[in-house]
Structure 1
Amino acid sequence: MPGAHRDLTDEELMLAYAGGDPVAFDTLYARHESALLRFVRRVLGSALAAQADEVFQDTWLRIVAARASFRPQGARWRTWAFTIAHNVAMDRLRVSGREVVPDAPDDGSDPLDWLAATLDARHPSSEDEAFWRAAGRQLLDCLDALPAAQRAAFLLHHEDGASVEELARHLGLPFETAKSRLRYALQKLRGCMQGYLVVLERAA
């Protein structure tokens, strides 16, 4: 990354790109490529995994097309971009007939980071790496089993760090609906991960 761009915030980079600076876009892409692709893959789930790259590229095309509409006072760039990715992925799920709206593969990352942080638990020792690999695979399976709307809201909240208020605003949902989706998702994940949670709670 060129030094002049490396120290800019995401919001500054987007404004620079909207103003005609293509290197600013290259910097944004390099900074967020992995996280956005991981998010898209997880929102789509295993059933549509083969379409993840296409949805990922469509997301960036929409980001490019919407560059002039970005306003930093409205949202962090990351939340804005992840919301676009969410919308593209949910559109694809609707077309496939796989989206389920509730009533009120391993990509190299550690899918249990948020879980350990939630429990304030320490990772088991290095001798227990097999435990963490197995728990990571189980968590991905549990995420895949969630209704798409709950899975997407959960990932926006825990991977992007979007608050409930941001979720509601950017997804066009009432606050209580966004809150309920997160609560239901966490309840289901906790139930699905119960065997591993017991071990983590003992290690805390």
Structure 2
Amino acid sequence: MRQTQPMTSSLEPDDDALMAAYAAGDVAAFETLYARHQAALYRFVRRLLGSADAARADEVFQDTWLRVVHARTRWQPQGAAFRTWLFTLAHHRVVDVLRRSGREVSSDAYEADDGEPWQPDSDAWQHWPAPASALPGEDLTFWRRAGEKLLDCLDQLPLPQRSAFLLHHDDGLAVDEVAAALEVGFETAKTRLRYAMSKLRACMGAYLEPLQRGA
């Protein structure tokens, strides 16, 4: 299920007001912002880095908040929500980390469809029990493994497509907000989402096909 952005009641200040208060010296305002967004930000960073660089998640997470601290007196909404700006900062830091680790991070090759069917790099799911033959009580195990497989499939997406998918489907940003967070055009964001969904369906389909046959 797609998540929605945190809602604030009429008695709670919105993010813009909290940033303004923090810039004026109200440390408690920053603590409220942190509590409001820290879980979603850490999840985004962790999944964006993938399993290969998971150990860097804490570093990127803390560096992102440090950038918020340093920019508190300069930040202006300028049509973008604080949450969108926060994810933009995190995305920049992830790109920096991947480049420093020797990973190529380029969007040029990710915008065009090469016309070839995409295949996942591994076939480990073929050894998992088919749901149709599962014993009572094994459903939870099966779906836990399905969740693990989805994370593996996400790891195999190019970074621009993984970023777009996580922002839209995991963190609930609208497509225009995804485009703003990734600093790309609206149509580019839509294209990345379309390719991400196509590749994830291909990857997960090999695992879920036995379930469909059993049904």
**Same fold at TM > 0.5:** yes
Give 1:10's aligned residue.
Answer: 15
The 2-side partners of 1:18 and 1:197 are apart by 53
RMSD: 2.5
1:160 pairs with 2:171:
yes
User: For residues 31-50 of structure 1, what are the structure 2 equivalents within 5 Å?
Assistant: 31-50=36-55
Instruction: Look up the equivalent residue of 2:13 and give its one-letter code.
Output: L
Instruction: Name the SS for the 1:97 alignment partner.
Output: coil
Instruction: Look up the equivalent residue of 2:30 and give its one-letter code.
Output: F
The 2-side partners of 1:200 and 1:156 are apart by 28
- Relative to structure 1, the CA distance from residue 146 to residue 26 in structure 2 (aligned partners, 3 Å threshold; closer, same or farther) is same
Identity across aligned pairs (percent)?
Answer: 60
The 2-side partners of 1:147 and 1:12 are apart by 36
Give the ranges of 4+ consecutive aligned residues of structure 1 lying more than 3 Å apart after TM superposition. Answer: 197-203
1:67 pairs with 2:72:
yes
More helix by share: 1
- Relative to structure 1, the CA distance from residue 167 to residue 27 in structure 2 (aligned partners, 3 Å threshold; closer, same or farther) is same
Give 2:188's aligned residue.
Answer: 177
Q: Which structure's CA Rg is the greater one?
A: 2
TM-score by length of 2: 0.73
| Contact 2:42-2:61 at 8 Å conserved across structures | yes
- Relative to structure 1, the CA distance from residue 94 to residue 127 in structure 2 (aligned partners, 3 Å threshold; closer, same or farther) is same
Instruction: Name the SS for the 2:184 alignment partner.
Output: coil
User: For residues 52-131 of structure 1, what are the structure 2 equivalents within 5 Å?
Assistant: 52-72=57-77, 74-98=79-103, 99-101=105-107, 102-104=110-112, 128-131=139-142
- Relative to structure 1, the CA distance from residue 161 to residue 190 in structure 2 (aligned partners, 3 Å threshold; closer, same or farther) is same
Count of residues paired in the alignment: 178
- Relative to structure 1, the CA distance from residue 77 to residue 167 in structure 2 (aligned partners, 3 Å threshold; closer, same or farther) is same
TM-score by length of 1: 0.77
The 1-side partners of 2:144 and 2:168 are apart by 23
1:24 pairs with 2:29:
yes
Give 2:56's aligned residue.
Answer: 51
* Structure of higher RCO (CA pairs closer than 8 Å, 6+ residues apart): 2
Give 1:151's aligned residue.
Answer: 162
Instruction: Look up the equivalent residue of 2:147 and give its one-letter code.
Output: G
Give 2:208's aligned residue.
Answer: 196
